[in-house]
């Protein structure tokens, strides 16, 4: 579900940039900042990287879970999750102003449209009921910790809290003989 949600946002942002800037190139990539060897994993320069930096249970929405007996077919309760998503501007040194421009466009994009549902976004995965975005205000120390945890040098960036609710799904629980 996480991949589908962030891939949808990546594609929608690329469409937004293509329409707004009349550019044929995809400017937004779903990518980590560094690979396991410490090398930049973002393909190409002058890109906005979308990186998942944290996953949490969304405590803003109350929901119950119940015991599912083995062999039962049931509708599971919706899953409510929240994520911290980092939008980083990976631009070469001479394009710093461009990096800031693209970050401004990201903020504009989510200011104009902060909620995505199947009613207003036909391409959204059918198992996702709703995705919403809220700008996060990180202190200098928190921002330093994020970049330190990622093991990368600071890039101009913005963090959004993404909340996602998935639809009930029918699950078949296999009976395990012990």
Per-domain residue ranges for the chain? 2-59+78-167
Q: Could you read off the pLDDT of 13-50 as tens digits, one per residue?
A: 999 999 999 989 999 999 999 998 889 999 888 999 99
pLDDT digits (tens, 9 = 90+) for 44-102: 889 999 999 999 987 765 544 444 445 545 556 667 889 999 999 999 989 999 999 99
How far separated are the first and last CA of the chain, in Å rounded?
A: 31
Read off the pLDDT of residues 112-160 as tens digits, 9 standing for 90 and up. 999 999 888 888 988 888 999 999 999 999 999 999 999 999 999 999 9
Tokens standing for residue 51? 């990186």
Give the 3-state secondary structure of the chain: CHHHHHHHHHHHHHHHHHHHHCCCCCCEEECCCECCCCCECCCCCCEEEEEEEEEEECCCCCCCCCCCCCCCEEECCCCEEEEEEEEEEECCHHHHHHHHHHHHHHHHHHHHCCEEECCCCCCCCCCEEEEEEEECCCCHHHHHHHHHHHCCCCCCEEEEEEEEEECCCEEECCCCCC
pTM listed for this prediction = 0.83
- In terms of Cα–Cα distance, which of 75, 170, 164 is closest to 124? 164
């Amino acid at each position: 579900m996480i991949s589908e949600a962030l891939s949808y946002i990546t594609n929608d942002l690329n469409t937004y940039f293509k329409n707004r800037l009349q550019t044929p190139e995809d400017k937004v990539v779903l990518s980590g900042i560094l690979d396991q060897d410490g090398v930049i994993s973002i393909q190409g320069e002058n890109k906005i990287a979308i990186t998942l930096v944290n996953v949490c249970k969304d405590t803003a929405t109350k929901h119950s879970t119940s015991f599912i007996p083995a062999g039962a077919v049931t509708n599971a309760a919706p899953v409510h999750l929240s994520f911290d998503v980092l939008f980083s501007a990976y631009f070469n040194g001479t394009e710093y102003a461009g990096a800031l421009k693209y970050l401004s466009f990201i903020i504009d994009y989510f200011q104009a449209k902060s909620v995505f549902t199947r009613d207003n976004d036909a391409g959204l995965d059918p198992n996702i009921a709703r995705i919403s975005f809220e700008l996060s205000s990180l202190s200098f120390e928190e921002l330093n910790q994020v970049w330190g945890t990622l093991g990368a040098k600071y890039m101009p960036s913005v963090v959004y809290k993404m909340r996602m609710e998935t639809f009930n799904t029918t699950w078949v629980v296999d009976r395990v003989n012990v």
